[in-house]
Amino acid sequence: MIKAIYSDYIADMANESHLKGRAILAPTIHVVDEVNDYMTTMNNNQCKTYVSSNKSLSEGGNNKIEGTHTPEFLATLRCSGLPNHELKLKVGCPVMLIKNIDHSSRLCNGTRLIITRLGDKVIEAKLLNSNHCLDKVFISRMTLTPSDVRIPFRF
């Protein structure tokens, strides 16, 4: 499937225009992970791994919540709309945002980008959804706090 959709990009990864107007819709999170892993292995650039820093939000030291929602447990959560605990990226990899970050900068859920530089706490990318494929954006490390107060942790 990847070879059929991205055959031009695979043949010439320097030409980012082959990514415009193409995407793979996957039925499950596991298939998304398989497609992402395969696309990442085709890219010969150096891989940088980003990991989450998940924390319990319990106030006053509620050991029951902290014992149940350990960082190790939170690292195993896999669900739609939340990034994985471990994110492996390479310069030149296409990515899609799964959260609204900054509407004025066009960083919204579903926005497609191509990674141009990987820093320790900032990722530089170009917007693929723009007409000129030239718009650079910077995405910094962020905290994702659930709006539902019954969920006692943040990502």
Query: Taking the complete model, does pTM exceed 0.85, yes or no?
Result: no
Average pLDDT over residues 81-94: 82
Most confident of 1-5, 71-75, 130-134: 1-5
Q: Long-range contacts: 53-58, Cβ < 8 Å, 24+?
A: 54/85, 54/153, 54/154, 54/155, 55/153, 55/154, 56/152, 56/153, 57/145, 57/152, 57/153, 57/154, 58/152
pLDDT tens profile 60-69: 555 555 556 6
Q: C-alpha angle 71/146/78, rounded to 5°?
A: 55
CA distance 144 to 32: 21
Q: What's the structural domain count of the chain? A: 1
Report residue 10's pLDDT band, with 50, 70 and 90 as the boundaries.
confident
More confident residue, 85 or 126: 126
Domain around 33: 2-154
Cα distances from 17 to residues 45, 64, 74, 98, 105, in angstroms, run 19, 52, 37, 22, 21
Q: Which of 51-55, 95-99, 126-130, 132-136 tops mean pLDDT?
A: 95-99
Segment 131-145 shows an average pLDDT of 75
